[in-house]
Amino acid sequence: MIEEGLHLYIPPQVAAAFFGTVSGNKEGFNKCQLKGAQMAKDLFAKLVFPSLKDFKWAITSNQIPNCPVTVDDVDNAQKIWGKDVAALKGKTI
């Protein structure tokens, strides 16, 4: 109770924020892997954001002739940038 007669709760001064940054996510990848991940991200946008399963299928089944992007590049892009915001906005209600 404070002097005015009111009850007052003061929470502890513990504050925590948990978030990751793209630059932090890029750590641990070499230049070649980062370049491949960037190409995978660009190709994903050029194909108008297919599902991840369909995108990987198109790469593994050689549906895109002379495609330098591999499934590992797609996985690395997902680890670095996460899900694409434009794809999420276009596919959710």
Which residue ranges make up each domain of the chain? 22-91
Q: Which two tokens stand for residue 79?
A: 């680890």
| Angle between helices 52-60 and 71-81 in degrees, nearest 10 | 150
For the chain, what is the mean pLDDT? 89
Backbone φ, ψ for residue 2 (5° rounding): -95, 180
Confidence class for position 34, pLDDT limits 50, 70, 90: very high
Confidence class for position 28, pLDDT limits 50, 70, 90: very high
Please name the residue that has the structure tokens 């070499």.
30
Q: What is the pLDDT of residue 21?
A: 87
User: Is 50 within 8 Å of 90 (Cβ atoms)?
Assistant: no
Q: Which two tokens stand for residue 85?
A: 């915001």
Please name the residue that has the structure tokens 């794809």.
87
